[in-house]
Chains A and B, each alone.
Chain A
Amino acid sequence: MSDARAVVSARGLVKRYKGMCALDGVDLEIHAGEIVVIVGPSGSGKSTLIRCLNGLETIDAGSIRIDGREIPSQAREEWRLARQRIGMVFQDYSLFPHFTVLRNITLAPIRAGRLSPEEADKTARRLLERVGLGGYANAYPAELSGGQQQRVAIVRALAMAPEVMLFDEPTSALDPEMIREVLDVMRQLSSAGMTMAIVTHEMGFAREVADRIVFIDRGRIVETGAPEQFLRSPRSPRLQEFLAKIL
């Protein structure tokens, strides 16, 4: 894995909020085809980290490279273009409530000139079919359950044909019975070879799909490893403590 090219690479990331250090020198590389799961207690900086990776947060020090090219925090336009290649799914789905499901999905690819309206329409319907929402193209987000909305949000990101997908606690806001349907879609993506970085608390899912799990605490990466080794024999006491709490 490690010899593959890094799609996203972060070096020495520092992010401060009002004097507090949310990220304190984080290095992270995500290689093509790799699935990295990021875990950690709340407030550890994991959401901040993933939001930095597509430039939604500015950083105070360090650097982020997308496809080997460094993009500075202030380069808004460069970041905007980079984001067209980085899909992101949020905890709170964030579909546009005034658009139908179809329009939610086709807006960005059409505006970016990626797809013609007809192509976008076809792509959206195909992707919806794939996540089991074939009949919902003309529904409004408010008419869908949380799990369905989150699946639409994933499709919306996929419609841009991204090179990498970032997930920020995609199942944390969902009722338990809906978590599975979202994880199933993510499993599909993983077997299709999608490059992903996932912040989640679903350790079972992490063990199953992750190539690498990263444990972050108080803004630092404390431990990183393959799922088996990571979960079976955690080295650092802080990770041991964390795992004991959540497993």
Chain B
Amino acid sequence: MELILKNMPLFLQGLERTFVLATLTLLFSTVISAIVGVMSVTRFRILRIVALAYVEFFRGVPLIVNVLFVYFGAPLVGLSLGPFQAAIVSFTLWGSANGAEIVRGGFNSVPKHQIASAMALGLKPWEIMWFVIGPQALLPIIPPFTGLFTLLVQATSLGAIVGLTEFFRTGQIVVERVTIMTGDNPAYLIYGFVLFTYMAICSVLTSLTRWLELHIGQRRGRDVRRGPAPLLPASRTVESV
């Protein structure tokens, strides 16, 4: 305990880094997820293909490889990214690919007849998206997105491999330093502390989004999920064949 307190300034520094890293990553990932997610459900084929390719590519790459590739590969395209930028870019690329897939799933969960009835009212395509489909897609998106958020927070620890001194790396440094100075290895203690801190951050995040989900659910949908099931009756299926 004393060990941790003594190294607190260092830990706090690392924690701050982690917070900035996580906040920016979540922010960018959310925005890009929304954009790519919408792209993947538009009626424009080229946009759909681009979105699909993006999602498939980055979902298929291990995050650690992705981080290293962005860091070392950036100069190839004439960019020089520091560890911090490289980490943000690679986490965002990965997070957005996963997020876009969640957004797409949310849109697809909205029944098709909602679109038809919005069209029948003469609404513009963006109005249908914004007023009718979007809000209905939001609710089912929130829980998986919470999961993604916690994954991304955890993923920030991978910044360590490109030399970013974030929270996890700070812990590592403290362990090394103490081992050299005192000969004792406090690894179990320090990593235990690190573990609980990550866990605490993630559970705060989870409860925040749970609150949001409840709030939105109450304000907007009420019994949306339990409402009388809109029938897609046999006659319609037969008819459209």
With most chain A CB atoms within 10 A of its CB, the pick from B117, B120, B127, B241 is B120
Across the interface, do B113 and A48 meet the contact criterion of CB distance under 8 Å?
A: no
Q: For the complex, what is the distance from the CA of A64 to the CA of B239, rounded to whole Å?
A: 21
Across the interface, do B117 and A94 meet the contact criterion of CB distance under 8 Å?
A: yes
Q: A43-B241, A80-B124 are in contact. Are A98 and B221 (CB under 8 A)?
A: yes
Across the interface, do B226 and A83 meet the contact criterion of CB distance under 8 Å?
A: no
Across the interface, do A169 and B117 meet the contact criterion of CB distance under 8 Å?
A: no
Question: 1/0 per position for A23-45, CB-CB distance to B under 8 A?
Answer: 00000000000000000001111
Chain A residues bordering chain B, tally (CB within 8 A): 49
A116 smallest CB distance to B (angstroms): 17
Across the interface, do B235 and A88 meet the contact criterion of CB distance under 8 Å?
A: no
In the complex, chain B residues whose CB is within 8 Å of the CB of A214:
none
Across the interface, do B224 and A91 meet the contact criterion of CB distance under 8 Å?
A: no
Across the interface, do A142 and B230 meet the contact criterion of CB distance under 8 Å?
A: no
Across the interface, do B240 and A48 meet the contact criterion of CB distance under 8 Å?
A: yes
Across the interface, do B123 and A108 meet the contact criterion of CB distance under 8 Å?
A: yes
Answer yes or no: A9 CB below 8 A from chain B CBs: no
Across the interface, do A97 and B224 meet the contact criterion of CB distance under 8 Å?
A: yes
Return the 9 tightest CB-CB contacts between A and B, nearest first: A142-B227, A84-B122, A94-B117, A108-B121, A88-B120, A142-B223, A83-B122, A42-B235, A92-B230
Across the interface, do B241 and A17 meet the contact criterion of CB distance under 8 Å?
A: yes
B45 smallest CB distance to A (angstroms): 15
B107 smallest CB distance to A (angstroms): 14
Q: For the complex, what is the distance from the CA of A97 to the CA of B132, rounded to whole Å?
A: 9
Across the interface, do B223 and A56 meet the contact criterion of CB distance under 8 Å?
A: no
Chain B residues bordering chain A, tally (CB within 8 A): 35
**Nearest-CB residue, chain A, relative to B131:** A107
- Additional pairs, 12, CB under 8 Å, beyond known A22-B239, A96-B132, A107-B121: A43-B241, A47-B235, A47-B240, A87-B120, A88-B120, A92-B233, A94-B114, A96-B117, A108-B121, A111-B123, A112-B122, A172-B233
Answer yes or no: B116 CB below 8 A from chain A CBs: yes
Answer yes or no: B62 CB below 8 A from chain A CBs: no
Across the interface, do B116 and A47 meet the contact criterion of CB distance under 8 Å?
A: no
Answer yes or no: A146 CB below 8 A from chain B CBs: yes
Q: Pull 13 A–B residue pairs with CB atoms less than 8 Å apart, ordered by A.
A: A22-B239, A43-B239, A84-B122, A88-B117, A88-B120, A90-B117, A90-B120, A94-B114, A96-B114, A98-B135, A98-B136, A143-B223, A157-B121
Q: A43-B239, A98-B135, A143-B223 are in contact. Are A56 and B230 (CB under 8 A)?
A: no
Across the interface, do B223 and A140 meet the contact criterion of CB distance under 8 Å?
A: yes
Within 8 A of A (CB), among B198-241: 220-224, 226-228, 230-236, 238-241
Q: For the complex, what is the distance from the CA of A173 to the CA of B233, rounded to whole Å?
A: 8
In the complex, chain A residues whose CB is within 8 Å of the CB of B135:
98
Answer yes or no: B119 CB below 8 A from chain A CBs: yes
B236 smallest CB distance to A (angstroms): 7
A136 smallest CB distance to B (angstroms): 14
- Partner of A83 from the list B119, B230, B240 (CB cut-off 8 Å) is B119
In the complex, chain A residues whose CB is within 8 Å of the CB of B240:
17, 22, 47-48
Within 8 A of A (CB), among B121-154: 121-124, 127, 131-132, 135-136
**Nearest-CB residue, chain B, relative to A114:** B122
Question: 1/0 per position for A8-26, CB-CB distance to B under 8 A?
Answer: 0000000001101010000
- Partner of B230 from the list A94, A111, A157, A169 (CB cut-off 8 Å) is A94
Within 8 A of B (CB), among A51-103: 54, 56, 80-88, 90-98
Answer yes or no: A160 CB below 8 A from chain B CBs: yes
Answer yes or no: A156 CB below 8 A from chain B CBs: yes
Across the interface, do A108 and B222 meet the contact criterion of CB distance under 8 Å?
A: no
- Partner of B224 from the list A142, A145, A146 (CB cut-off 8 Å) is A142
Question: 1/0 per position for A145-168, CB-CB distance to B under 8 A?
Answer: 110010001001100100000000
In the complex, chain A residues whose CB is within 8 Å of the CB of B222:
140, 142-143
Q: A93-B230, A97-B221, A140-B222 are in contact. Are A56 and B120 (CB under 8 A)?
A: yes
**Nearest-CB residue, chain B, relative to A88:** B120
Q: For the complex, what is the distance from the CA of A47 to the CA of B238, rounded to whole Å?
A: 11
Q: For the complex, what is the distance from the CA of A96 to the CA of B135, rounded to whole Å?
A: 10
With most chain A CB atoms within 10 A of its CB, the pick from B220, B235, B238 is B235
Answer yes or no: A141 CB below 8 A from chain B CBs: yes
In the complex, chain B residues whose CB is within 8 Å of the CB of A98:
135-136, 220-221, 224
In the complex, chain B residues whose CB is within 8 Å of the CB of A97:
136, 221, 224, 227
